[in-house]
């Protein structure tokens, strides 16, 4: 099985009413006391996350949430946090007990359908209150204890459900390159680059090139011309960091295929067709329009930050319009409705799952708000949009 790195971990959330035993199951499944367990209602107050290796699948993030019927003082905020966490899940485990399955559970399942999230329904505490016939028809597993054997059964159900949902795992260069191709990666090293290492998209591409039995060449943009002309390296494909897209486009001969890290990640992570369709909306932006920059990671902005500094500057210069830019980092809730923005521009999403990106953009997609991606926007405003997307046609 392909090794799953941190950014590709699937998120599995445990949801349900207060005191149905969500935290007990999470602790048993992970083999650690991840969440505090108590008979007191509302014990789990915040979303709790734990990385683990799920038997039969691989690396995942287990998420425990507050009760969906939390009627404590802060219950409304806790329920809101739980439902926001749902949008980030790749699979939801709905825990029920005491033969209770009503509007709360039905409404939750409907929300999962809206976000295209598979649901595994688990009946807990069956040794105390056996499941009736109606409940038995709704659940995938009954738990009377939380032994290693019962957790193994739960792991298997979760694993098989995830596999059925995702099908073949996508990779950045899937169906683009073939064995023996020479892939040249252009990786600038400036003040925004992490000290002593490459950024995640660059690492992902290197690994994918090697996995596909291709030859990987990595250079800074300042050495690109020398590598092509003096070293006589003839790549089958050039993948560049978006921030030097224009420079690389001028250096790389037109007969050589070229795209960017951000573009190939956008294709892998989903919503790519919507990005292609939405990018030309840049030409329709008007004075006063609001543009939202969505960053999936949480890094400290610098004067060379691509999403908060360079890209807004380039877009303003290209459009000639007085635009208002906002930025949201991480996967925190977006307080302003996406419909308030004229355009949404998502980063490459190297640390997010395709499910998280798709669900984050869903309100915009449902309301026909144009969406795009950092790399595609950069290519468009520099006049190389067609070249950057040609390999995907």
Q: Given this model, what pLDDT does residue 141 score?
A: 96
DSSP SS3 for 120: strand
Q: Does the pLDDT value for residue 121 go beyond 80?
A: yes
Q: Which residue has the tokens 């109606």?
A: 134
- Say yes or no: do domains 182-264 and 274-387 share a fold: yes
In this prediction, residues 317-342 reach a mean pLDDT of 89
In tens, the pLDDT along 193-236 reads 677 888 888 999 999 999 999 999 999 999 999 999 999 999 99
**90, 10 contact by CB (below 8 A):** yes
The answer on pLDDT for 352 being more than 90 is: no
pLDDT over threshold 60, residue 349: yes
Q: Residues near 40 by Cβ (< 8 Å), separated by ≥ 6?
A: none
pLDDT tens track for 249-263: 999 999 999 999 989
Pick the CATH number of 6-166 from 3.40.50.300, 3.90.950.10, 1.10.150.110, 3.40.50.11900: 3.40.50.300
The pLDDT tens digits for 40-84 are 555 455 688 999 999 889 899 999 998 998 776 667 788 888 888
Whole-angstrom Cα distance, residue 115 to residue 362?
Answer: 8
- CATH 3.40.50.11410 corresponds to the domain 274-387: yes
Q: So where are the chain's domains?
A: 6-166, 182-264, 274-387
Please state the pTM of the whole predicted model: 0.73
Which pLDDT score, from 0 to 100, does residue 192 have?
A: 66
Assigned CATH topology for domain 182-264: Rossmann fold (3.40.50)
Residues 6+ positions from 332 with CB-CB distance below 8 Å? none
DSSP string over 315-366: HHHHH----EEEEE-TT----S-GGG-SEEEE---TTS-HHHHHHHHHHHHH
């Amino acid at each position: 099985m392909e090794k799953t790195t941190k950014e590709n971990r699937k998120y599995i959330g445990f949801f349900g009413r207060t005191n149905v035993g969500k935290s007990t199951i999470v602790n048993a499944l992970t083999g650690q006391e991840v969440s505090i367990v108590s008979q007191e209602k509302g014990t789990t107050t915040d979303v709790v996350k734990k990385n683990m290796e799920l038997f039969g699948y691989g690396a995942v993030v287990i998420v425990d949430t507050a009760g969906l019927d939390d009627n404590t003082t802060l219950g409304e905020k806790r329920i809101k946090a739980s439902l926001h966490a749902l949008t980030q899940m790749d699979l939801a485990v709905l825990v029920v007990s005491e033969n209770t399955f009503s509007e709360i559970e039905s409404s939750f399942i409907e929300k999962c359908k809206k976000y295209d999230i598979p649901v595994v329904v688990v009946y807990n505490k069956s040794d105390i209150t056996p499941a009736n016939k109606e409940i038995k028809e709704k659940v995938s597993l009954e738990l009377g204890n939380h032994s290693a054997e019962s957790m193994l059964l739960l792991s298997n159900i979760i694993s098989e459900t995830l596999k059925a949902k995702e099908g073949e795992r996508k990779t950045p260069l899937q169906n683009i390159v073939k064995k023996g191709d020479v892939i040249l990666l252009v990786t600038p090293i400036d003040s925004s680059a992490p000290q002593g290492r490459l950024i995640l998209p660059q690492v992902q591409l290197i690994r994918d090139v090697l996995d596909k039995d291709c030859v990987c060449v990595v250079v800074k943009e300042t050495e690109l011309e020398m590598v092509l002309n003096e070293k006589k390296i003839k790549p089958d494909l050039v993948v560049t960091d978006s921030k030097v897209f224009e420079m690389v486009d001028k250096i790389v001969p037109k007969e050589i295929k070229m795209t960017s890290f951000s573009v190939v990640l956008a294709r892998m992570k989903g919503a790519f067709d919507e990005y292609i369709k939405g990018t030309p909306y840049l030409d329709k932006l008007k004075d006063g329009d609001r543009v939202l920059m969505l960053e999936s990671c949480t890094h400290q902005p610098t004067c060379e930050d691509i999403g908060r500094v360079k890209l807004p500057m380039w877009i303003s210069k290209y459009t000639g319009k007085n635009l208002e830019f906002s930025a949201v980092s991480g996967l925190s809730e977006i307080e302003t409705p996406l419909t308030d923005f004229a355009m949404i521009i998502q980063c490459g999403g190297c640390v997010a799952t395709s499910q998280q990106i798709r669900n984050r953009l869903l309100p915009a997609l449902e309301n026909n708000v144009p969406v795009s991606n950092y790399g595609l926007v950069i290519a468009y405003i520099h006049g190389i949009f067609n070249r950057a997307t040609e390999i995907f046609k």
